[in-house]
Structure 1
Amino acid sequence: MLTALVCGAVVFPGLFYSFRRILKHTFTHWTDADVVSVSERLVSAIHASLATAAGVTVVTSCRDTMNDSHWLVNGFVMFGAPYMAYDIYAMYLSHFHTQRVRGDSGSYSSHSLQTVKAFLVKDRMLVLHHLVLLLIFMPIALFFRRGLGDFFIGSMFTTEFSTPFVSIGKILIQLGLDDTRLHRINGIIVILSFFVCRILIFPFMYWMYGRQFGIPLHRVAFHLPLQCNVGNLVILAPQIYWFILLLRKANRLYLRQKRGKGEGNKDRPKTD
Structure 2
Amino acid sequence: MWRLLFSGIVVFPGLFIAFRKVLPAVFKRWTDADVVLVSERLVSSIHAIMATTAGIIVVSSCRSNVITDRHWLVTSFVIWYGVPYMSYDIFAMYLSHFYRFRVKGHEDYKGHSLRTINSFVRKEFLLVLHHIALLTILLPITLFFRKDQGDYFIGCLFLTELSTPFVSLGKILIQLSMQECWLHKMNGGMVLLSFFLCRIMLFPYMYWVYGSHYGIPLYSVPFHIPLSANLGSLCILSPQVYWFVLLCRKGYRLYKRQCNQGSPISSTEQLSKTD
Give yes or no for TM over 0.5.
Answer: yes
TM-fit CA distance, 1:263: 5.6
| Structure-2 residue corresponding to 1:138 | 139
Question: Could you tell me whether the CA contact under 8 Å between 2:54 and 2:73 is conserved in 1?
Answer: yes
Q: Which stretches of structure 1, 4 residues or longer, exceed 6 Å deviation after superposition?
A: none
Contact 1:4–1:76, Cα closer than 8 Å, also in 2? no
Deviations, residues 161-195 of structure 1 (Å, cap 9, x unaligned): 00000000000000000111110100000000000
Give 1:136 shift. Answer: 1.0
Amino acid at match of 1:247: C
Deviation of the 1:26 alpha carbon: 1.2
Residue of structure 2 in register with 1:124 after alignment: 125
Q: Aligned partners of 1:147, 1:101: CA distance in 2, in Å?
A: 49
Report deviation, 1:3.
3.4
CA distances 1:94-149 after superposition (whole Å, capped 9, x unpaired): 11110011121x11010011100100001011111111111111111001111111
Tell me if the contact between 2:261 and 2:267 (Cα under 8 Å) persists in the aligned partners.
no
1:74-153 pair list within 5 angstroms: 74-78=75-79, 79-104=81-106, 106-153=107-154
Q: Return the letter of the residue paired with 2:101.
A: Q
Percent sequence identity over matched residues? Answer: 57
Q: Distance in 2 between matches of 1:228 and 1:266?
A: 54
Equivalent position SS for 2:110: coil
Q: Which residue of 2 aligns with 1:3?
A: 3
Partner secondary structure for residue 107 of structure 1: helix
Return the alpha-carbon distance in structure 2 between the equivalents of residues 51 and 77 of structure 1: 9
What TM-score does the superposition give when structure 1 sets the normalisation length?
0.95
Alpha carbon RMSD of aligned pairs, Å? 1.4
Match of 2:246 in 1: 245
Alpha-carbon displacement from aligned partner over 1:193-212 (angstroms, at most 9, x marks no partner): 00000001001111111111
Which residue pairs with 1:55 in the alignment? 55
Residue of structure 2 in register with 1:36 after alignment: 36
Give secondary structure in 2 for the equivalent of 1:48: helix
Gaps of 5+ in 2: none
Structure 2: distance between partners of 1:2 and 1:243: 38
Shift of residue 258, structure 1, vs aligned partner: 1.5
- CA distance change for structure 1 residues 45 and 214 in 2, over 3 Å: closer, same or farther? same
After alignment, is 213-222 or 184-193 more displaced?
Answer: 213-222
Counterpart-to-counterpart distance in 1, 2:115 and 2:127: 19
C-alpha deviations, 1:8-35, integer Å up to 9, x for none?
1011000000001000111111100000
Within 2, Cα distance between the matches of 1:254 and 1:87? 31
Opposite residue 236 of structure 1, the aligned amino acid is L
In 1, the alpha carbon distance for the partners of 2:99 and 2:69 equals 46
Matches within 5 A, 1:153-232: 153-232=154-233
In 2: Cα distance, 1:203 partner to 1:70 partner: 23
Shift of residue 73, structure 1, vs aligned partner: 0.2
- For residues 43 and 257 of structure 1, do their structure 2 counterparts lie closer, same or farther at Cα, with a shift above 3 Å needed? same
State how far apart, in whole Å, the 1-side matches of 2:4 and 2:241 are: 31
Distance 2:39 2:121 in 1: 20
- Residue 69 of structure 1: SS of its match in structure 2? coil
Indicate the residue corresponding to 2:236 in structure 1: 235
1:4 positional shift: 3.2
Q: Is the 8 A contact 1:45 1:163 kept in 2?
A: yes
Alpha-carbon spacing, 1:12–1:264, altered in 2? closer, same or farther (3 Å):
farther
Paired with 1:101 and 1:94, the residues of 2 have a C-alpha distance of 11
Q: Aligned partners of 1:172 and 1:84: how far apart in 2?
A: 25
Q: Which runs of 5+ in 1 are unaligned?
A: none
Q: Distance in 2 between matches of 1:181 and 1:8?
A: 36
Q: Does 1:27 align with 2:27?
A: yes
Deviation at 1:262, TM superposition (A): 2.1
TM-score (norm 2): 0.94
